[in-house]
Chain A
Amino acid sequence: MDLPADLSLAQVKKYLDRRVVELDTLFKSLAVEDPAPLREILHRWKGNAELYGFRELGILAGNVVRLLDISPVQWPEATAAVDLLAREIKSEVQELSVRLSRELGKE
């Protein structure tokens, strides 16, 4: 995470919390092999993640979108790419929790 200078940790946390909620939708779409919701959600992540300090997340989202654009969609590969994305989010959430605890400790 590369926190932009004009953003607070609270704003970043809010952003990540929303992604965690959307992860659930992503896995449900993978389960039924429906590419439309995946494409819509991940296209947004690709466009906005870096603005909130999550450059890596944006790149990974872009990778999944590219896989979804190949016809026919290779679902095992797409599922593996979304798994990677989920792990990235989990790791960012952990890092953010540490930083938030430190911030609270300072106060």
Chain B
Amino acid sequence: MAQRQYHIALVDDDPEFAERLVDYYTARKMKFTHFERAESLLSELRSLVGEVMPYDLILTDLMMPEMDGIEFTKKLKTLCPELPVILMTSNSSVDSAIEAIEAGANDYIVKPPHFPHLTVVLQRTMHFSQLQQENAILRRTLQDAQTLTGGIIAKSPLLLKSIELAKRVAPSDATVLITGESGTGKEVFARLIHKASLRADKPFVAINCSAIPENLLESELFGHAKGSFTGAENARPGLFEEADTGTLFLDEIGDMPHHLQTKLLRVLQERKVKRVGENTYRDISVRIIAATLKNLGEEVRTKRFREDLFYRLNVIPIRLPSLRERKEDILPLAKHFLERFSTRYSKGIQGFTREAAEWMLAQNWKGNVRELENAIERAAVVSLSSVIGLEDLKFEAFSEAEFTTVETTGVALPSGETELSTPLSPANALEERLLQEFEGECLEADAPGETPTNRSDDSPPSLLDQSTTGEPITLAELELRYIREVLGRCDGVKDRAAKILGIDRKTLYRKLQASEAATG
């Protein structure tokens, strides 16, 4: 990493002293900004709270009109406690030294300073401050590693293994290649690695290589010189330069055009980048994390991806399991998303029905976590109850055109929909265990008369068991119950209920009257 230029704020009411220091250190690659009044610097720093501090150190005089160095240091330390301060005193008495250190100064020097001595004090203080900051990052990283999975919801051993690997490689600068189906959280993982790295407080820049037209991708990545192509009215740095000292996440790397693969390989090898239309190379220090849903080995075999680039990127391969491979995480994820969307849409939804949970566990989730998230958001929006039911999760199927009527039950099912024909009971012991774990946490309590003993044979409750008299219920009764159930969920709004039932309003009235007449 190229050594950066230190930036020091000098606070001194003597312009000739400041001029001398600025001249001396400018020639020695240290940048000084002079403030004649302490209040001017404090105002600037107040306006920057929460942003990156432009100064590495404050060098201040002790004796100044308006606000002296001690008062200034105290105010500064409440504003920016991590910013190191060196006080300049005009005499070397122990009292001044003690006063300076007690005010929060990291060190003090006697004025006029001997430049070589001042240089040593400045460098030592900045080095110490840098070590303190790195130490804080490492402590935070260690704490995260011990207490969290980096914000990723993970119970599945497969995913926990991937997280463990990610954390182990994070502090190094090794290139990482993340593979996994769409929606498995590749960018979330890349951010986890960045956050756990020593570059955590540096930029994280992400680009989706398949989302940008081929002709723009090159200048987006490497930047361009002014006038290098039509429309390039100004010079612009590319994402490599933007991510300098940080991490660049190249998503969908498998879709990168072949000629850019060559250019990327050169950047990875030489750690230098050349803007489009320029002849000079710029040094960069960027950690690369790439991701793809493609089988890059196969892409290499068919010559669509450069073999040498593949090996450059595949230093640390991390594979993310699909959601169906990590069933343990489906219900915790669902709960997490439900909490988020219930709050966002002010719905006060508490959990899921057992039926809904069973259904979620039985799904393939080809779109993985993203698809589950969308399903929960949609369910939270359409739900009329305090719990998400199966009908809420399957709401997308309720389009009139797709409806067919199942004659035997009178229940409308979307055409081509197979989920209801799938047994809603848990398919295996794992799913049953997951449901039990989830019970009491986010599952609706079973209604009276619908105790787990009714389901002890692991089969769906039979319609024949649903009569209160013990006799099988009639088709008319079943239809009426269903109509009433839908009406209830629609708060009695008949237009909406009719739409959901796949019948017109008049038919709904007729059925209600006829059924009521039949059942007395």
| Listed stretches A25-33, A46-54, A81-89, A97-105; interface member | A46-54
Is A18 in the interface zone, CB < 8 Å from B?
A: yes
Is B400 in the interface zone, CB < 8 Å from A?
A: no
* B-contact bits for A41-70, CB 8 A (1 contact / 0 none): 001101111111000001000100000000
Is B504 in the interface zone, CB < 8 Å from A?
A: no
A44 near B17 with CB under 8 A, answer yes
Instruction: Name A39's closest neighbour in chain B (CB-CB).
Output: B63
Instruction: Name B24's closest neighbour in chain A (CB-CB).
Output: A6
Is B112 in the interface zone, CB < 8 Å from A?
A: yes
B358 to chain A, nearest CB (A): 80
Residues of B within 8 A of A47 (CB): 14, 17, 61, 88, 90, 111-112
B11 to chain A, nearest CB (A): 13
B14 near A46 with CB under 8 A, answer no
Is B201 in the interface zone, CB < 8 Å from A?
A: no
* A-contact bits for B17-30, CB 8 A (1 contact / 0 none): 10011011001000
Is B51 in the interface zone, CB < 8 Å from A?
A: no
The answer for the CA separation of A58 and B111 in the assembled complex, in Å, is 10
B14 near A6 with CB under 8 A, answer no
B16 near A48 with CB under 8 A, answer yes
B112 to chain A, nearest CB (A): 4
Q: How many A-B residue pairs have CB under 8 A?
A: 36
Instruction: Give how many B residues have a beta carbon under 8 Å from the other chain's beta carbons.
Output: 15
Q: A51's contact among B61, B63, B90, B112, by CB below 8 Å, is which?
A: B112
Instruction: Name B91's closest neighbour in chain A (CB-CB).
Output: A62
B16 to chain A, nearest CB (A): 5
The answer for the CA separation of A50 and B301 in the assembled complex, in Å, is 73
Chain A interface category by residue count: 10 to 19
Residues of A within 8 A of B112 (CB): 46-51, 58
Instruction: Name B61's closest neighbour in chain A (CB-CB).
Output: A47
Q: A44's contact among B16, B23, B24, B88, by CB below 8 Å, is which?
A: B16
- Chain B 78-121 residues near chain A, CB threshold 8 A: 88, 90, 111-112
Instruction: Name B23's closest neighbour in chain A (CB-CB).
Output: A6
* B-contact bits for A1-39, CB 8 A (1 contact / 0 none): 000001000000001001000000000000000000000
A18 near B90 with CB under 8 A, answer no
Residues of B within 8 A of A49 (CB): 112
Instruction: Name A18's closest neighbour in chain B (CB-CB).
Output: B16
Residues of B within 8 A of A46 (CB): 90, 111-112
A23 to chain B, nearest CB (A): 15
Residues of B within 8 A of A40 (CB): 65
Query: Which one of B65, B90, B112 has the greatest number of beta carbons of chain A within 10 Å?
Result: B112
B63 near A43 with CB under 8 A, answer yes
A39 to chain B, nearest CB (A): 10
A41 to chain B, nearest CB (A): 10
Instruction: Name A55's closest neighbour in chain B (CB-CB).
Output: B112
Instruction: Name B110's closest neighbour in chain A (CB-CB).
Output: A47
Residues of A within 8 A of B88 (CB): 47
Q: B27's contact among A6, A15, A58, by CB below 8 Å, is which?
A: A6
The answer for the CA separation of A50 and B118 in the assembled complex, in Å, is 14
B20 near A44 with CB under 8 A, answer no
Residues of A within 8 A of B63 (CB): 43
Residues of B within 8 A of A48 (CB): 14, 16-17, 20, 112
The answer for the CA separation of A44 and B14 in the assembled complex, in Å, is 6
B115 to chain A, nearest CB (A): 8
The answer for the CA separation of A85 and B7 in the assembled complex, in Å, is 37
Q: List 13 additional contacts besides A44-B14, A44-B16; criterion CB under 8 Å.
A: A43-B63, A46-B90, A46-B112, A47-B14, A47-B61, A47-B88, A47-B111, A48-B17, A48-B20, A48-B112, A51-B17, A51-B112, A62-B90
Complex A-B: 16 CB contacts under 8 Å: A15-B16, A43-B63, A43-B90, A44-B16, A46-B90, A47-B17, A47-B88, A47-B90, A47-B112, A48-B14, A48-B16, A48-B20, A48-B112, A51-B17, A51-B112, A62-B90
Q: Which 5 A-B pairs have the closest CB atoms?
A: A48-B17, A50-B112, A51-B20, A47-B111, A44-B14
